[in-house]
Amino acid sequence: MNAPNYPLLRDELAARLSFLPDKPEETADSSLRALWFTAAGTPRSAPAAMEGELPALTAAQGQELRELIGRRLAGVPLAHLTGRQHFLGLEMLAGADALVPRKETELLARTAIEAAQELAAASHKPLVVDVCSGCGNVALALARAVPSAQVHGADLSEAAVRLAIRNAAHLGLPGVDFRAGDLLAPFDNAAFIGRVDVLTCNPPYINRAKVERMPTEIAAYEPRLAFDGGALGISILMRLLDEAPRFLAPRGHLIFEVGAGQGAGLVKRLKAGGAFTEIAPAEDETGVIRVIAARR
């Protein structure tokens, strides 16, 4: 069998793949390089695959590459094929057990890291809780950036929790505690009630009516539990806003991601609720509110 023809394969991906806007790191080049490294037995995420020289492939590996390309063209997410996804400098394990981390969620992680770093700078060891943790990307980014923080995460999906635990070991952050349970239920005890300094959440926020119309790459391969936000897309968000004050310490931070178009209404609700004294929406590069930070 002839060696894989890189330009030909790249052009095929460019012509036949629809690249999703929520994964801007995926291009024909980065996708092919990521699959190439995976076929060679050294899997990398799309951004990591853009670094270094491509390895030579054996005949068997060349066949594996062609099979991986076929599966990608059939709609299987790149991160499911490589088992890797880049998130805020972390090369994470990825798979079908949890939502593939998106670059847009880095805004949530950066906002939470800033809050935790301020507390750490004041000689405080912040207690951090991340709910709807998925594969653990936000919790682990916080733990890496703020070593003094006590970081805990939870997800309703036991499979996602197992992946998060694997990621903690993979990244050398075994001190991060992940639990299975519904939203804040795993922390409903004296160690957390009224004591959480930073509470983060990337909840499901897609309107249920839109779920079936989502691209096949998402709807057919990623766990529905991770993006179905109920009839209006905000059922989990409403629960979070109601339950969070009970867990937050005085001056504690609640920081959560919202869907495009949801921000203004949720800011208004937070202001009307009276549980928070400071409410600061954060916009993405297009000027859309995607994160809300509120403080007790």
Domain range list for the chain: 6-82, 103-295
Q: How far apart are CA 195 and CA 239, in angstroms?
A: 19
Q: Is 123 exposed, middle or buried (0-12, 13-18, 19+ CB in 10 A)?
A: exposed
Sequence-separated (6 or more) residues with CB below 8 Å from residue 90: 137, 140, 141, 144, 171
Q: How far apart are CA 6 and CA 32, in angstroms?
A: 8
Q: What was the pLDDT predicted at 2?
A: 65
Q: How far apart are CA 56 and CA 62, in angstroms?
A: 9
Q: What was the pLDDT predicted at 224?
A: 86
Q: Where are the beta strands (DSSP E) in the chain?
A: 84-87, 90-93, 127-131, 150-155, 177-180, 196-201, 248-257, 278-283, 289-295
Amino acid at 121: A
Q: How far apart are CA 103 and CA 25, in angstroms?
A: 8
What tokens appear for 266 in the block? 């949720």
| Under 8 Å between Cβ of 134 and 200 | no
Q: What was the pLDDT predicted at 193?
A: 98
**pLDDT tens for each residue of 76-122:** 999 999 999 999 999 999 999 999 999 999 999 999 999 999 999 99
Find the length of the chain.
Answer: 296
Residues of the chain under the 70 pLDDT cut? 1-2
- CATH fold for domain 103-295: Rossmann fold (3.40.50)
Amino acid at 206: I
Q: What was the pLDDT predicted at 208?
A: 82
Helical H runs in 216-274? 216-219, 235-247, 263-273
